[in-house]
């Protein structure tokens, strides 16, 4: 069996799918994407195809090592994301050939289900209580919201109070459920300290995600040491080496993205490294159904997995939603706030290839560009 064909499809709302076919007709799917740079990732996939076409798809680890270490220059979000989607497709093929779900190949299931959480609010949150109540009515026991809009180097008491009040209103609407908050890397170290103190004193978020930008990962140690708020990070860390200092800093949750951090292969290794440091796993996944299916395979096989994000109904999903490219939505349907253990071969889903081909080629989504009131750049 040899890899004979690799294709990528850019589809609404902001996703990119990869189809890998073998010479005996087995098809595997992956999701190689950097939100806002799908075209660059597609070019990286095409470049890596020179290594893959004609290769044995069962040699997943050898291909992963060759793709990541075969060139003198390594890493970066676009190349790592291209490798991630390819890796997902390789695992999908292997599971389908053997007739087992991928988690069986990762050591087998350690749980029967994983707690789900989903987004509420938009990039610059205002009223979130109504959305939180709606999610609770759907059976979710946890949601996540952006903590704030753009933030300055130093912030006012009103800005801090606004974050606390929004989290409190969402928490009340969840009626016993949990609210996590995402700072989106918008805070400075000083603002993060102030915010953590205010959150400790007034509300108890399930976790605080990415309070600092990834280039400030080395500052997480002092932040974690000074707060009881559970700190999470990792969506912009792309390997176990990137995660090392974060895991040593005292974070509560590691959030590798299976479409950015080297696919199933590397995400599983990051999970094991997190376990070594007593850190939980909560894979980042604001993406499409293939990425989510890959996350679930890792969750089910990882002892320290805590909960799983999905993009169902997120504000980015304009033109298509999480389940729209599947033949059967049941494997990714949340039931009473949980994702059930996948049981079907490979990634456990059947992609609607006709729908993907029909939708392919849409305009590329680009990340928003924000500015402060003085005209300077603001973190989105």
Q: Which residues are catalytic?
A: 184, 284
Tell me the CA end-to-end span of the chain in Å, nearest whole number.
Answer: 45
DSSP string, 26-80: -EEEE----TT-HHHHHHHHHHHHHHHTTS-TT-HHHHHHHHHHSSSS---HHHH
The first and second tokens of residue 214, run together, are 């990834």
Element (H, E) at 105: helix 102-105
What residues form DSSP beta bridges with 10?
A: 16
What is the chain's Cα-based Rg? 20
The first and second tokens of residue 232, run together, are 């999470």
CB atoms within 10 A of CB 354: 10
- Inter-axis angle of helices 60-69 and 38-52, nearest 10: 120
The first and second tokens of residue 154, run together, are 């130093």
Per-residue DSSP letter, 8? E
Query: How many Å apart are CA 308 and CA 180, to the nearest integer?
Result: 12
Q: Count how many Cα atoms sit within 13 Å of the Cα of residue 315 in the half-sphere of its side chain.
A: 12
Per-residue DSSP letter, 324? T
- Bridge-based pairing of strands 231-233 and 253-254 is parallel
Query: How many Å apart are CA 180 and CA 233, to the nearest integer?
Result: 12
């Amino acid at each position: 069996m040899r890899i004979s064909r690799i294709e990528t499809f850019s589809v609404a709302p902001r996703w990119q799918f990869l189809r890998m076919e073998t010479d005996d007709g087995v098809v595997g799917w992956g999701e190689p994407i950097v939100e806002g740079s799908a075209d660059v990732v597609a070019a990286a996939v095409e470049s890596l195809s020179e290594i893959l076409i004609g290769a044995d798809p069962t040699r997943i680890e050898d291909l992963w090592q060759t793709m990541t270490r075969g060139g003198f220059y390594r890493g970066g979000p676009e190349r790592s994301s291209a490798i991630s989607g390819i890796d997902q497709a390789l695992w999908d093929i292997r599971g389908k050939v053997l007739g087992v779900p991928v988690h069986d190949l990762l050591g087998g299931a350690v749980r029967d289900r994983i707690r789900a959480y989903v987004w509420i609010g938009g990039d610059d949150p205002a009223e979130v209580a109504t959305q939180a109540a709606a999610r609770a009515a759907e059976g979710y026991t946890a949601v996540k919201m952006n903590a704030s809009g753009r933030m300055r180097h130093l912030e006012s008491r009103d800005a801090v109070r606004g974050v606390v009040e929004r989290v409190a209103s969402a928490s009340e609407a969840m009626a016993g459920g949990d609210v996590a908050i995402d700072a989106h890397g918008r805070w400075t170290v000083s603002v993060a300290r102030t915010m953590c103190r205010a959150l400790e004193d007034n509300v108890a978020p399930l976790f605080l995600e990415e309070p600092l930008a990834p280039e400030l990962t080395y500052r997480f140690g002092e932040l974690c040491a000074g707060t009881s708020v559970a700190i999470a990070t990792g969506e912009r860390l792309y390997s176990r080496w990137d995660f090392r200092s974060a895991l040593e800093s005292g974070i509560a949750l590691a959030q590798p993205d299976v479409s950015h951090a080297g696919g199933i292969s590397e995400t599983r290794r990051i999970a094991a490294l997190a376990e070594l440091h007593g850190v939980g796993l909560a894979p980042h996944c604001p993406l499409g159904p293939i990425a989510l299916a890959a996350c679930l395979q890792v969750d089910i096989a990882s002892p320290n997995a805590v909960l799983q994000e999905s993009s169902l109904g997120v504000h980015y999903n304009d033109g298509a939603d999480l389940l729209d490219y599947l033949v059967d939505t049941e494997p990714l349907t949340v039931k009473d706030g949980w994702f059930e253990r996948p049981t079907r071969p490979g990634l456990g889903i059947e992609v609607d290839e006709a729908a993907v081909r029909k939708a392919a080629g849409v305009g590329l989504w680009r990340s928003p560009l924000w500015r402060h009131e003085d005209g300077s750049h603001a973190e989105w």
